[in-house]
Amino acid sequence: MRRKRMLTARSLRKLEGSLFIAPWVFGFIAFLGFPLLFSLYMSFHTVKILPNKVAYDFVGLKFYREIILNSSALYDKLIPYFQEVVLMVPVIVIFALMISILLNQKLYGRFLFRAIFFLPVIFSTGAVLLQFINQGEGNLGFLERFELGGYLDTFLGDSSWAKPVKEVLNHFVLVLWYSGVQILIFLAGLQTISTSAYESARIDGATPWEVFWKITLPAMSPFILLNLIYTVVDMFTFPSNPVIELVNTGNYGFNSALAWIYFFIIIIFLGLVILIYSFMNRRHAKTYA
């Protein structure tokens, strides 16, 4: 008797839970799951849109082979963008970490500075930012002032890195603008470190430098990983990235295959980021054990 009642209570709870999550699950199926599978299906087919129906001809891996082996679309547009992302991610995360530590100090006008550093989140997501990039705003000006361009040319030669490096330097301030959410995440993370940890370190005679490496950085480690992942995802789903032009050209099968390859590249990229992170983390733990 008792057991039966407990069982019904449990299943009632499960029912409630299902009720709460049901809209999201439905949304997932309708707006993500099904389109995802359908796009996978299309990537193996030639899609012809006829007046009254859509015809699918199976072509197997043809598009994938075409993109990876024969097409320059992927390499011309995506590789330089990836190179830019490789440069931007560490810049953004390190800048966000530094600023959040500064903003976490007790000082007058803290709110004002926080407001300033968070302001770009309001518009660093869209058309306005592109407008700034096109206008050449966000250039610090040191590229010309110190003739860094020429120096970069001789240093990087005509390796494929010359262009991305210059591109990033050219809108360096705007790169910093991407760090609004990251600064917030770090600020929230800094709040989780107890003040007593700092106090006891001070009593033991640790310098601020040591305190940073031994207390702040290890405590921030999970937030650094979170920010790395967030930044990478943000960069790759950003509306100015070059895949957009590629996806919107009409050939549904080909474009779906391209989108899937893009997705895999992002996954690999994320995997690499996590790998590098865990490697650095272990080394840091060893040095400061």
Partner 1 sequence: MRTILSDVKGRRFLTKRRVRQMRNVVLGKEINQGLVFKLILYAVLIITSYIYMNPMLKMLVKMVMNVKDLVDPTVTWVPSSIYLGHVAEAWKLLNYENSLMISLFIAVSVAVLHCISCGLAGYALARLDVPFKRTIFFLLMLAFIIPPQVIILPTIMFYTKLGLNGHLVTLILPSIFGFGVKGALFVVIFRQFFMTHSKSLEEAARIDGATALKFYFRVMFPLARPAILVVFLFSFVWTWNDTYYPRMFLSPTGDMPLAMKMTFIDTALGQFIQNGGFPEYVAEPIKMGASFLTILPPVLIYLFAQRYFIESVERTGLVE
Q: Which is nearer to partner 1, 267 or 285 (CB)?
A: 267
CB of 277 to partner 1, least distance (A): 15
Q: Tell the smallest beta-carbon distance from residue 280 to partner 1 (Å).
A: 20
> Nearest approach, Cβ of 247 to partner 1 (angstroms)?
5
Structure tokens at 209: 């430098």
Beta-carbon contacts of residue 113 (< 8 Å; ≥ 6 apart): 102, 103
Q: For residue 81, how many C-alpha atoms fall within 13 Å in the half-sphere facing its CB?
A: 21
Nearer to partner 1 by C-beta: 115 or 155? 115
| Element (DSSP H or E) covering residue 62 | helix 62-65
Write the single-letter amino acid at 159: S
**Nearest approach, Cβ of residue 38 and partner 1 (Å):** 4
Q: What are the residues whose beta carbons fall under 8 Å from the beta carbon of 52, sequence distance 6 or more?
A: none
CB 172 within 8 A of CB 220: no
User: Nearer Cβ to partner 1, position 38 or 155?
Assistant: 38
At its nearest, how many Å lie between partner 1 and the CB of residue 253? 9
Choice between 39 and 83, CB closer to partner 1: 39
Q: How far is the CB of 44 from partner 1 (least distance, A)?
A: 14
Q: What are phi and psi of 48, to 5 degrees?
A: -115, 125
Closest CA to 256 of 81, 59, 36: 36
Nearer to partner 1, 130 or 280 (CB): 130
- Tell me if residue 51 falls in helix, strand or coil: coil
> Measured from the CB atom, is 10 or 283 closer to partner 1?
10
For residues 201 and 215, is the Cβ–Cβ distance under 8 A? yes
